[in-house]
Amino acid sequence: MNRIVLALSIAGFGAAVLPAFAAGDAMANEVRKPAVEIVMYSTRTCGYCAQARAWFSEHDLKWDERDIEASAQSRDEWRNYGGVGTPLILINGKPFNGFVPARLEQELASYR
């Protein structure tokens, strides 16, 4: 019986205090940013791929690189995404043929 009364007292107290605490809590007001997954299908000799690597590094972006000449699985994935050249860049599964920084910036802005 004492446990039930104590639990009700804590629940009643917590309900009154929690909203005031949460409103002042910086973590409660922080908006969670969605995760961004970047995959780049490339070749070792592709100049645009080299530019994309440098651009990702300059913008502190992490990416998973898949060489379509070195891996049959990567080449099949590249084809399935409609690859017609390199690089083929996926941002959360959305394909971008070629390296066009403005298009990538526009897409990445929706995740900030």
- Could you tell me which CATH number the domain at 38-109 has? 3.40.30.10
Q: What is the DSSP letter of 31?
A: P
The model's confidence at residue 112, banded by pLDDT at 50, 70 and 90, is confident
**Across 33-100, where does the E strand assignment appear?**
38-42, 64-67, 88-91, 94-97
pLDDT, position 94 = 97
Percent of the chain that is helix, strand, coil (3-state, to 5): 50, 15, 35
- What is this structure's pTM? 0.71
The answer to whether residue 51 scores a pLDDT higher than 80 is: yes
- pLDDT value, residue 111: 87
| b/e 60-80 (16+ beta carbons within 10 angstroms → b) | eeebeebbbeeeeebbebbee
Residues of the chain with CATH 3.40.30.10: 38-109
